[in-house]
Structures are given as structure tokens and as C-alpha cells.
Amino acid sequence: MTATLIDGKAFAAKVRAQVAEHVTRLKTDHAITPGLAVVLVGEDPASQVYVRSKRKMTTEVGMKSVEHRLDAETAEADLLALIDTLNTDPEIHGILVQLPLPKHLNEDLVINAIDPAKDVDGFHISNVGLLGTGQKSMVPCTPLGCLMMLREHHGSISGLDAVVIGRSNIVGKPMAQLLLNDSATVTIAHSRTKELADVVRRADIVVAAVGRPQMVPGDWIKPGATVIDVGINRLDAPEKGEGKTRLVGDVDFDSCAAVAGAITPVPGGVGPMTIACLLANTVTACCRANGLPEPEGLTA
Ligand code: GUN
């Protein structure tokens, strides 16, 4: 391997320490405790794992953590009523409704019912519009984490060629927007992109966010490029024992690491940054709600 490893786990710990420092200051200087409410509807096992981990980290940085677990059959009106209550609760500064929602619930309607100032996921249509026009907004956590790692590694990414593979509303599109706002030259590639290998080969920065295990091979990577792997895919790993699995990203790590200048591993790359950025967004939302200066380095 020749690439520098971008250690998301260590970086996320640094971000959480910064958040914890701000939380302490808010408590001691202003008697304010930032509060995050997480709403989980149904019993999706992956969502339960995420929510548990979010709760643990929220408490660890000294914030108030509130969890609402609702039955899978919850009526839309009841979920909207809960969001309304959280919107007006002065002790809650961030609201996250865990996705995916059960099929009978309209995800867009639910997300857009959250007060945009408390939308720590950055999914509300107002925040999407603000980000798209380069204005102050709440920024989706995963792309924010990727941006922080890129800024840390490169200093400035101005003028660099960036290719984002994947066009989801949660990662691909906001990632492209953030790179553009930092003056990179941005291409969004997706399943219909022609000559994908050639498109990726032009990039100084590759962000892979497609959800297809190891789909980007090393010979697509320009020598010295920075590779950010957003994918978290579980593969069978019979070599580790019966029924065992291992996590892999959207890039083929070994071959990409042999060519790239820097690369994020899976696990331990983008993943830990996502929750760290959720905490950062909650502190930012809390400062904004109270007319206090925002923490530096924790926003886009
Ligand atoms: N489910 C998977 N990732 C996310 C996320 O970033 N936010 C929410 N709300 N749900 C998710």
C-alpha cells in the first residue's frame, strides 16, 4: 500500500472532543444543554443499531438525548403530532427521524414537518435549497464528514477535479454541492454514466457512494488521487468461520490503496464521521437557536 490512510475513527474522536468542549461551555457559560431527539418507527434491526449508537455518543459528549420508539403501525398523524411537539420543545435543538420509515408513512411529508432549524440531518427541503444556493443551512452528516476529511487532508480543494459516484439525496447530491461550494470541479456519476472508468480516472478526488461492494477497482484511480469510500457493505466471510461476515466499501481497498495518494478504510473511515457530524450539527443548531456564535470548524 502506498496511499496515506485517512483515519476516520481518530478524526471522529477529535470532532467529538471539540463538540464536548462546546457543550461544556454552553452549560457553564449559558446554562444551556443541547438536546437531540431521535425518533425510530418500527423494528428495523440496522436502524436499532444506529439509534443505540447515536444515543450513546450523544450522552458521552454531555448532550441531552431523547429517544422516541414508535410502533411499526403508527399512524402518520401521530408521528406528525410528535414532531410538532418536538419542534416547539425549547430543550430540543435537533430532531432526527431514522430512515427508512415503514411503507405506509410518507417520508417527504414527515421530514418536511421538522422545523428546518432543528433538522440536524439536513434533509428538509429548505435546507436542501439553502445548501444548493450556498447559504447557511443544516448539512447532511455523511457528506459533511467527508468534506471535513478532505479539507483536513488537502487544506483547500479549490480547483480540484472531484467525481462523486452515486446520486442519492442523502449522500451523492449534497456531497457534490459541498464540493462545488468549496470550488472543486464536480462531476456526478451514476448507474447510467457512460465510460465510468474514464470519468473516474480524471478525478483528483473520488467519493464512492453507490452501495455496491468493491465496485471501484484500482485501475480506475488516477495515481495520487484521494479516495473517500462511503460504502458499508456486508459480505459473507467463510474464511472467518461459519456464518461470519465482513464489511467492505464501494471501492476495492487493496488495489485502490496501491494507486491512490490517500484513502479512507472501511470500517473506520467515513462511518464514524457521520455520527460525529450529527453531534456537531446539534451543537450548531443549539448555538443558532440561542443567538450564540457557532463552533468553528464543525460546519460547512
Ligand atoms: N438511515 C440511514 N442513514 C440515515 C441518516 O443519515 N439519517 C437518518 N435520519 N436515517 C438514516
Sorted by where each starts, the structural domains of the chain and their CATH numbers stand as 31-117 (3.40.50.10860), 141-272 (3.40.50.720)
Q: Ligand 1 centroid vs 99 CA: distance in angstroms?
A: 5
Looking at residue 237, its pLDDT comes to 95
Q: From the alpha carbon of 99, which atom of ligand 1 is closest?
A: 10
Looking at residue 194, its pLDDT comes to 98
Q: Comparing 44-48, 145-149, 180-184, which segment has the lowest mean pLDDT?
A: 44-48
The pLDDT > 90 percentage for the chain reads 99
pLDDT higher than threshold 90 for residue 220: yes
Does ligand 1 lie within 6 Å of residue 211's CB atom? no
DSSP for 98-134, please give it. Answer: -SSPPTTS-HHHHHTTS-GGGBTT--SHHHHHHHHTT
Bridge partners (DSSP) listed for residue 286: none
pLDDT band at 246 (very low <50, low <70, confident <90, very high): very high
The model scores a pTM over 0.95: yes
* Active site residue ranges: 54, 98, 121
Ligand 1 atom 4, closest CA? 99
Q: Ligand 1 centroid vs 46 CA: distance in angstroms?
A: 10
Looking at residue 7, its pLDDT comes to 98
Q: How far is CA 87 from CA 91, 117, 200, in A?
A: 10, 9, 42
Looking at residue 144, its pLDDT comes to 98
**Other CB atoms within 10 A of residue 195 CB:** 9
CA pair distance 255, 275, nearest whole angstrom:
28
Lookup: cell for 77: 398523524
- From 47, 121, 171, the mutation candidate for ligand 1 (largest count of ligand atoms within 8 A of CB) is 121
Average pLDDT of the chain? 97
Amino acid found at 122: G
| pLDDT tens-digit series, residues 173-183 | 999 999 999 99
192 half-sphere exposure, CB direction, 13 A CA radius: 1
